[in-house]
Structure 1
Amino acid sequence: RSSSSHTTPWWNRTGGRDHVFFLTTDRAGCWKPWELQHSMIITYLGFPAAEAYFGFEDRLAWPPRGPQRRNNAYDTRRGSVATELPCYAPSKDVVVPVDAQIGDHEEAKLPRPGEAFACTSSYKHLLFMGGAMQNMGRPEYSQGVRQAINKLHANESSFVLGGKFTLDDLRASRFCLAPSGWGWGWRLSLAMLSQCVPVIIQPNVTQPFEELLPYASFSLRLTKAEIPKLPALLRAVTDDAHCSMQQALARYYRAILWQKPFGPNYPSAYDLTMVTLCRRARALGAEL
């Protein structure tokens, strides 16, 4: 910051508020330096609290002084970035989807714009979640969601939890779990690309382009408290409701895809990023 403030006038003009930074690390804005706290952050992780609370959301009810070193993974002393610098500020930052970077063979399977999506009521799995279900025993991993589901439902025969996977595995499933990971997670993007209805369980996390997309029309959003009832909740979704969500996924999936497989006339994640940044710029302009 000291270098830029002396060599250009733009930073000093607004204290960096009209500067934009794209942070792609696991916890993105959680790891930004103090100097960027007023700048616009494009991030994969929309967690509107400090890092020390990610996976320890119960601490959000604590006094502002912070958790006093209760979490050895972070510096949780008062005044540290981990306790007092929010990872994401909804008024100025932008949450975007992870770049899934699918190949030509997967692009060929995507629903074409304007074409009707053919639903089916026959699926191999009720819920699919490929990949890791824990990380070195760390309770904050995935905000505790994957671990809780694995602990309670590992013997549920209609669930697939963990292991290697392809997008065809998601297509063969009625629902796909979309939790966070060590920080951001990309399961939402994979589910949308395969028209597998996402089951989003990410406490306090804002999803990509949530202010622009009708998430309620194409996903289920559950709390950690509902995990014990997960099989019953999923089975309670009717075929008609499920088909409606799949049709919405076929309509909106391009919003989370940075590629443009159908040409420049069809909006992508890049276009929605620019729309959201324009909103932020207008709001900032009204304040300056």
Structure 2
Amino acid sequence: MHVYSEGDRPIFHQPEAIMEGIYASEGWFMKLMESSHRLLTRDPTKAHLFYLPFSSRILQQKLYVHDSHSRRNLVKYLKNYIDLIASNHPFWNRTRGSDHFFTACHDWAPAETRGPYINCIRSLCNADVGVDFVVGKDVSLPETKISSSQNPNGNIGGNRPSKRTILAFFAGNLHGYVRPILLKQWSSRPEPDMKIFNRIDHKSYIRYMKRSRFCVCAKGYEVNSPRVVESVLNGCVPVIISDNFVPPFLEILDWESFAVFVPEKEIPNLRKILISIPVRRYVEMQKRVMKVQKHFMWHDGEPVRYDLFHMILHLVWYNRVFQTF
């Protein structure tokens, strides 16, 4: 792989500013990619893939004019970058960018990377099949909410299945249209095993996850949610309520074996759906959650085999090799 040297900081080549928070996936990947001695070549003629090292989050922070309701300048900035790459190197033009890739976790990234970027392998947190995401070309990037860059995975694990006394748990801001429906339907219901809240403090949030059988991952404004990865790392079976969402690593992982997918229209039947899952089936699903944890972890320094960094790269390469677009 080759990383272009072009691109001005802090939007390009600057992961330190986004090693924490809900957009941290693009920062961690950029840091590990650009520091890799084993995967990168300085000679672009020897490269099979080309990485475009920009941050969609910092692009938004630096260039978006508050309350302008316009992203034209952000789109233009990215287009100018590709024009620069195309004028300085032959590699973009020979494939129209189909052997180039980037990672982007901000909600606006799909819209900002239409046009000249549409042929790229786009690794997006906002993996929405209703908005340009192409299964088989693009890669669903896990959204990882990181509280401390010193401990990116947090305190993984949780209670064993027999000690998980809460059936289902959710807490979060009322973004979008799905979460208000979820809260209206379940927050005031008498069932004590359904813990559905608006916002709670972080310690309580993690404690509930570690004590719950199922963790509800309801979409916000966009289809993605950091709760998917949080659920896995805390040993809680994810319940994904987001109709157009493409789960990370769908081409490799059998999501049906360790997660529950509930259509948005079935929110009133959520408890019925979950209690209908036999205990033996739930225990097997929880075991599989524990097995896939390693695929959703970041490692500072040298990446570890089968971790999140390697999984993203594997999917990028897989989609490039078998690309039919």
What band does the TM-score fall into relative to the shorter chain? 0.7 to 0.9
Under a length normalisation based on structure 1, what TM-score does the superposition of the two structures give? 0.73
User: What is the aligned partner in structure 2 of residue 119 from structure 1?
Assistant: 160
User: What is the aligned partner in structure 2 of residue 160 from structure 1?
Assistant: 196
Among candidates 106, 109, 120, match of residue 28 of structure 1: 109
Under a length normalisation based on structure 2, what TM-score does the superposition of the two structures give? 0.66
Work out the CA distance in 2 between the residues paired with 1:168 and 1:129: 12
Please tell me whether residue 37 in structure 1 is matched to residue 118 in structure 2: yes
Note the C-alpha offset of 1:222.
1.0
SS across alignment from 1:98: coil
Among candidates 217, 221, 232, match of residue 178 of structure 1: 217
Could you say if the C-alpha distance between residues 195 and 27 of structure 1 is closer, same or farther in structure 2, counting changes exceeding 3 Å?
A: farther
User: What is the aligned partner in structure 2 of residue 76 from structure 1?
Assistant: none
Work out the CA distance in 2 between the residues paired with 1:109 and 1:161: 22
Contact 1:198 1:219 in 2 (8 A): yes
User: What is the aligned partner in structure 1 of residue 35 from structure 2?
Assistant: none
Among candidates 171, 174, 182, match of residue 149 of structure 1: 182
User: What is the aligned partner in structure 2 of residue 97 from structure 1?
Assistant: 142
Could you say what the CA RMSD is over the residues aligned between the two structures, in angstroms?
2.6
Work out the CA distance in 2 between the residues paired with 1:260 and 1:5: 33
Note the C-alpha offset of 1:191.
0.4
Which residues of structure 1 form unaligned runs of 5+?
Answer: 51-85, 112-116, 136-140
Work out the CA distance in 2 between the residues paired with 1:91 and 1:171: 34
Among candidates 245, 254, 261, match of residue 205 of structure 1: 245
Could you say if the C-alpha distance between residues 251 and 151 of structure 1 is closer, same or farther in structure 2, counting changes exceeding 3 Å?
A: same
SS across alignment from 2:209: helix
Q: Which amino acid aligns with 1:145?
A: V
Work out the CA distance in 1 between the residues paired with 2:90 and 2:156: 47
Whose RCO is larger (CA < 8 A, sep 6+)? 1
Among candidates 293, 306, 311, match of residue 272 of structure 1: 311
Contact 2:99 2:120 in 1 (8 A): yes
Note the C-alpha offset of 1:227.
1.0
SS across alignment from 1:121: helix
Work out the CA distance in 2 between the residues paired with 1:22 and 1:216: 25
User: What is the aligned partner in structure 2 of residue 4 from structure 1?
Assistant: 85
Work out the CA distance in 2 between the residues paired with 1:152 and 1:20: 41
SS across alignment from 1:167: helix
Deviation track 1:119-152 (CA, whole Å, cap 9, x = no partner) reads 33343422111221x23xxxxx1xx321211121
Work out the CA distance in 2 between the residues paired with 1:13 and 1:280: 18
Identity of aligned residues (%): 22
SS across alignment from 2:322: helix
Q: Which amino acid aligns with 1:6?
A: S
Contact 2:161 2:213 in 1 (8 A): no
Which residues of structure 2 form unaligned runs of 5+?
Answer: 1-81
Matches within 5 A, 1:42-57: 42-50=123-131
**Number of aligned positions between the proteins:** 236
Q: Which amino acid aligns with 2:188?
A: N
Deviation track 1:161-210 (CA, whole Å, cap 9, x = no partner) reads 22224322201112110122222211100000001111111112110101
Could you say if the C-alpha distance between residues 266 and 179 of structure 1 is closer, same or farther in structure 2, counting changes exceeding 3 Å?
A: same
Could you say if the C-alpha distance between residues 105 and 47 of structure 1 is closer, same or farther in structure 2, counting changes exceeding 3 Å?
A: closer
Could you say if the C-alpha distance between residues 124 and 162 of structure 1 is closer, same or farther in structure 2, counting changes exceeding 3 Å?
A: farther
